[in-house]
Structure 1
Amino acid sequence: MEQEIVKVFNEQHEEIGTATRSEVHEKGLWHETFHCWLVNEDYIYFQVRSSQKKDYPGLLDITAAGHLLAVETVESGIREVKEELGLQIDVQDVVKMGMTSCSIVSENMIDNEFCHVYIYPFEHDWNSFALQYEEVSGVVRARLNEAEAFFLGETTTLNIEGYEYFPDGQRVKIVRPVGTAQFVPYRELYVAHVIKFAREKIFNQTS
């Protein structure tokens, strides 16, 4: 299997070379990723990571995300939304939030990322998704105000609803409360900042 090649950076986000995807995780090298959050005036959406995934199987994660290859521009990352969720959107449809850094050390890897964060104002229904099953097994959502309080640490559980999807076209409804252990461990307050940006800059809401 051909290895994906990504750009490598120092901690100041200065490009210093390239490496394979496996190398950056083994050595903790800084690299770039693309995050796209689906948000509307009422809800923020999360993907359910496939149980087949090596890292964080079954946990809730950014709606669509992936590594930027060395030959790609940041805007090329929009392909992840099509690949993972089956949504055909254009880069003009998303709102750029900015870049953040994230460092996660787990048993399997050292993941040091510069994350380019975008928000897609999502107004479609559950039938819009056609998931990449080896990557994503479901999509759920949480009310924006409840999610903001949860990710600010003001509440300990968050009510989610959505569906697990299957290759034969069937789906099973998900309705349950979850805690922080059910989410991929993001940088502190990252999701709260995404929600705040969406509410204030896109939907003109005030807390």
Structure 2
Amino acid sequence: MKLWAKRATHTAGVLVAAAGLALAASAPASAAPPNTATGLKATGLIPANPLVASAFPGTSPNHAASLNLPPLLTTGAVDTAAGPTTASATVSGLNISLSPLASLTAGTLTSNCSYNSVTGVVSADSNIENGKVVLLGTPIFLTPHPTPNTTLTLPGLATLILNRQTTGPDGTVTVDALSVSLVSGLENVVLATSTCNAATLS
């Protein structure tokens, strides 16, 4: 009787372990977050949730005729889109008041990213057309197609990061065409953001 009980207990343990392995094998992997694109987001004294945001899976493309965050900034048309392996964002007609004596303007800001399923690599890029800072009447022109994470510091006013790119532990890449930090971080604005996962979403 004792021998039978031991065998039954052993058999039950094997069955439970096997069932656990089967469930683990059949359980789906954690779903990747969506590819996304955002026209503008801001934190600080004048906050703004992500505006003109697209996502895949989700809603895409999206468009706004203009954006206005008084007294900080205005834009013209904003367009975003996201797909199974790509994301892109475009902001036109940007005008930011850095201070009563300084402003930043740009004709067009764009960012894009894409996942290559063959190489398993996410690539990203951004561009600033006709961008400039005017400080006390003197223009400082922003380089189009800047190298990633190009930084321009305006002492006492702002820090600009052009083509800001970050890569997550899972290979996800985020690119911002322009990041603006005003007055030691009291206001932060990010424009034309695209994020792509290192995976094909469908």
Task: Give the TM-score, by structure 2 length.
Answer: 0.28
Task: Give the TM-score, by structure 1 length.
Answer: 0.28
User: Would you tell me which structure has more helix in proportion to its own residues?
Assistant: 1
User: Would you tell me which structure has more strand in proportion to its own residues?
Assistant: 2
Based on CA coordinates, which of the two structures has the bigger radius of gyration? Answer: 2
